[in-house]
Amino acid sequence: MAETRFPGESPEYREAREQLLEREIALRREMEAVAGARRELPPGGAVPEDYGFDGAGPAEVRLSELFAGKADLIVIHNMGTTCPNCTLWADGLNGIYHHLADRAAVVVTSPDPPEVQQRFAAGRGWKFPMVSHQGTTFAEDMGYRSKSGGWLPGISVFKRDGKRILRVSDAAFEPGDDFCALWHILDLLPGGAGDWTPKFSYS
């Protein structure tokens, strides 16, 4: 990690910053070790069926088709148009989508009907593909439905194994997680995020 200095920097700040930098380096090394261990996890198992989704077109699209010729598939579990946090994550995903899509297929799924998804996506300028899992057990089978019946946000990663589709990793989304850079930038402020919460729009 690069250190930065500025004219007039106090010795107290520099000493505290250097001590914190040591902790940041140790944290980064641990994060890299965890990422390596995650990549070494055995596959989570074959999905029970080739789920069908409603997409932008008239025909049902299967999970196997979402790979779009790629070996790996990233599926973002989005709670839908009523969730500002999910919208924040999706806004961030939109900015890096073309980078991700060069490495793996990327699809966002939510319980909203396709026409609602497309209208909302157009309003926000989203470029990534979306499908609706409405009427399927996909999100629940993947562990993204709460005990009370509500939807949960997160990410599932799949790979092909012959005719089988394996889920190889997954992670839940929550405010402050590593999947949204905004929280880590806000952490640099004196008060951190404070009581700030994401909104669909700001005046």
Q: What is residue 166's predicted lDDT score, i.e. its pLDDT?
A: 96
Whether 196 is in a domain gets the answer no
CB 87 within 8 A of CB 110: no
Q: CATH number, domain at 85?
A: 3.40.30.10
**Does residue 96 sit in the same domain as residue 163?**
yes
Q: Is 106 within the bounds of a domain?
A: yes
Q: Which residues lie across from 169 on neighbouring strands?
A: 157
Q: Would 31 be classed as within a structural domain? A: yes
Please report, as a single letter, which amino acid is at residue 55. Answer: G
What pLDDT is recorded for position 45?
Answer: 87
> What are the pLDDT digits (tens) for 11-65?
888 888 888 888 989 988 998 898 888 888 887 789 999 999 999 888 899 999 9
Residue 89 shares a structural domain with residue 63? yes
Judge if 30 and 102 occupy the same domain. Answer: no
Whether residues 58 and 123 share a domain: the answer is: yes
Q: How many residues does the chain have?
A: 203
pLDDT at res. 3: 60
Q: Clarify whether residues 64 and 36 are in a common domain.
A: no
CB atoms under 10 Å from CB of 116, counted, come to 16
Structural domain harbouring 147:
52-172
Q: How many beta carbons lie within 10 A of that of residue 74, not counting itself?
A: 21
**Given a cut of 80, is residue 111 above it in pLDDT?**
yes
Average pLDDT over residues 128-156: 96
**Residue 190, in any domain of the structure:** no
Q: Is position 72 within any domain? A: yes
